[in-house]
Amino acid sequence: MNSTTPDAATPGSRRPSFPGHAVLLVGVPPLEAWVRERTAHYDEGFVSADPAFAHAHVTVLAPFPVGATDRAAAVASEVRAFDYTLRRVATFPDGVVHLVPEPDRGFRALTDAARRLMPEVAPYWGRFEPVPHVTLDRLGPGVTESSTRDAVAHLLPCRARASELLLTWWEDGGCRVLGRFPLSS
């Protein structure tokens, strides 16, 4: 995958007419303030007032069927909570600057489970293959991989634990959490 989601929540890709959609994801609380600020910089409408919302996240499956909470719970039950570290900044060919989770096998296991339980859903609308990452920014005037690395250096390495899935709604002026699903222990 070369982008988190093809919507205005991705820095630098404003699509005001893009309809809302659900995303199954793992929040990354240690990076929340930084990613939230970058989201506000690009599009204030995608800054959520919901305190449980995760602007900083690793996508498991998008789009996600809103009514499929039973399947979200099933995905969560298949994977044990896991630790990971974010330290390496990279850039996808489409210009999305991101952090790479290491190891990424827990995220891949979540995405594999989601795809197995929902074979009718094409990740990222069929535009990209899923690659675990946390979106930080997008290349553009004044934004390079190096400048982004420098901007987040004080937060790295970021050690975190994936312990729950969030089912979230992404829509201009309406981003919120729809459900929470603990990973198995």
Angstrom distance (rounded) from CA 53 to CA 125:
22
* Residue 9 falls inside a structural domain: no
* Residue 51 falls inside a structural domain: yes
* Residue 7 falls inside a structural domain: no
* Residue 14 falls inside a structural domain: no
Angstrom distance (rounded) from CA 4 to CA 134:
8
Q: What is the domain-level CATH number for residue 53?
A: 3.90.1140.10
* Residue 176 falls inside a structural domain: yes
pLDDT tens-digit profile of 63-73? 999 889 999 99
- Domain residues for the domain of 48 are 22-182
pLDDT at position 128: 86
Q: Contacts for 69-75 with beta carbons within 8 Å, 24 or more apart?
A: 69/167, 69/178, 69/179, 69/181, 71/114, 71/117, 71/118, 72/24, 72/165, 72/167, 72/179, 72/181, 73/181, 74/113, 74/117, 75/24, 75/110, 75/113, 75/114, 75/117, 75/165, 75/181
| Both structure tokens of 19 | 């309809």
pLDDT at position 18: 60
Q: Total domain count for the chain?
A: 1
Residues of the chain with pLDDT under 70: 1-18
